[in-house]
Amino acid sequence: MKSGKAGNQAADRGGQSDNACGKTPKAHVEGTHRLVSPEETWRRIEPLFPRFGITRVADLTGLDRIGLPVAAAVRPQSRSVAVSAGKGLSLAAAKVSAAMEAIECAHAETIDRPLVFASRSEIAARHRPADILDLPRVDGTRLTADTRFLWMEAIEIATGEPVMVPYELVHAHYCPDALPAAGTFLATTNGLASGNAYAEAVCHGLFEVIERDALNLWERLAPRQRNDRLVAHAFADAPHLGETMEQLGRAGFQIAIWDITSDIGVPAFHCLIVDEQDPAGHPGTGTGCHPDKTVALYRALSEAAQVRAVYISGGRDDITRREYQSDHIQAFRRTIEAGGKAPRRDFAAIASTEYHYFEDDIAWTARRLEEVGCGPILVADLSLPDTGIFVVRVIVPGLEGPPEANAVAGRRAQEAAR
């Protein structure tokens, strides 16, 4: 990975770069790493809400007794989900998180880029295609070098070279319009990300695809193996994590944290919170991934609170009736009980990596991916030229997609199951 090249790409796309080294600095590192503060981001994006169909951003925090900031952004005419949720250390951060997710989806629902209808063998005659057998696919579909579907251009971030990728892995238009060979690849929002700079958006999407791969592999382990990764609730070197845990404890929640970091080595955690005061109370699950382990864990904890608040609000349009049924809710309680007195990992002993520039995060992560035979990092830039917001879709061949029941198990998933 040539971090200098990545830095030049960020500058070419209008990202905010440090004059001395051409890299994008992290000016905000409280709970997450961003170019500017949540307040500044809000000032930039709020005028754009009408353009992207956002009618309101709501504070959901008070719907629950936990008190961790949660917000929701509403887009009634969305072609994916109409309600996007967000979380953060502050209400401003939660509102920005929700709004940026909505903006990401709006970009991916209305992509204005050239598309090519061709098979892999036809594409290979004129362009460099991604290895389609290393991409997340749907079970039961037949895929050969002669299967024709829509492609669009992405960029290999290390070299700047164009690589053609399946359009189905980039767009988020999930209305029932029939596209050629639709249903071949696993269509989710995995790797869709935004930021105030190109490199910031790439980092956000990159860590999400690694997070989903790690969760997929961890869920394939036997229960005892999963619980061997439980983490002790001691965070002396990360005060905001300790405060978050105390807040959840005071609100009456049991908490389980698993270190699901894969062989790639980017810290990843999965969290579960269960309501001790109300047997029928909604659980919350969350997952986070970042080179800085404190950022990764806070993302997982705050996402668990976000998920519970979304259940309570009832506003999310992709939640099924099943998720409100008692036996489903009680299954999460049994998951925590199954951990029992299993040994807990020491959070202080878990490796963590911190850089001042987003491009350094990308370069470090690219090396880790290469070591396990995954990559390259491919980025489809969906940004619009006149908004100042950067939106990308990150695709990493070889990584598993989200743990969906209809997904084909790739090489890494098959190895984990063995």
| 259-282 pLDDT per residue, tens | 999 999 999 999 999 999 998 999
Residue 288 one-letter amino acid: G
pLDDT confidence of residue 418: 79
CA 296 to chain centroid, in Å, comes to 11
In DSSP terms, 380 is beta-bridged to 393
18 pLDDT more than 90: no
Confidence of residue 15 (pLDDT cuts 50, 70, 90): low
**Would the CA dihedral through 212, 216, 217, 219 be positive or negative?**
positive
Tell me the mean pLDDT in the region 176-205.
93
pLDDT confidence of residue 11: 37
CA atoms in the 13 A half-sphere facing the CB of 241: 25
Report in angstroms the alpha-carbon separations of 362 from 24, 283, 293.
Answer: 11, 34, 16
pLDDT confidence of residue 17: 58
Backbone phi and psi for residue 114, each to the nearest 5 degrees, phi listed first: -65, 140
In DSSP terms, 152 is beta-bridged to 165
4 pLDDT more than 60: no
12 pLDDT more than 70: no
User: Over the stretch 44-69, which tens digit does the pLDDT of each residue have?
Assistant: 999 999 999 999 999 999 999 999 99
What DSSP character marks residue 178? Answer: P
- Expressed in angstroms, the distance from the first to the final Cα of the chain is 31
User: Over the stretch 341-356, which tens digit does the pLDDT of each residue have?
Assistant: 778 999 999 999 999 9
Calculate ∠ Cα 141-144-145, nearest 5°: 150
Confidence of residue 14 (pLDDT cuts 50, 70, 90): very low
Backbone phi and psi for residue 410, each to the nearest 5 degrees, phi listed first: -80, -175
2 pLDDT more than 80: no
CA 165 to chain centroid, in Å, comes to 19
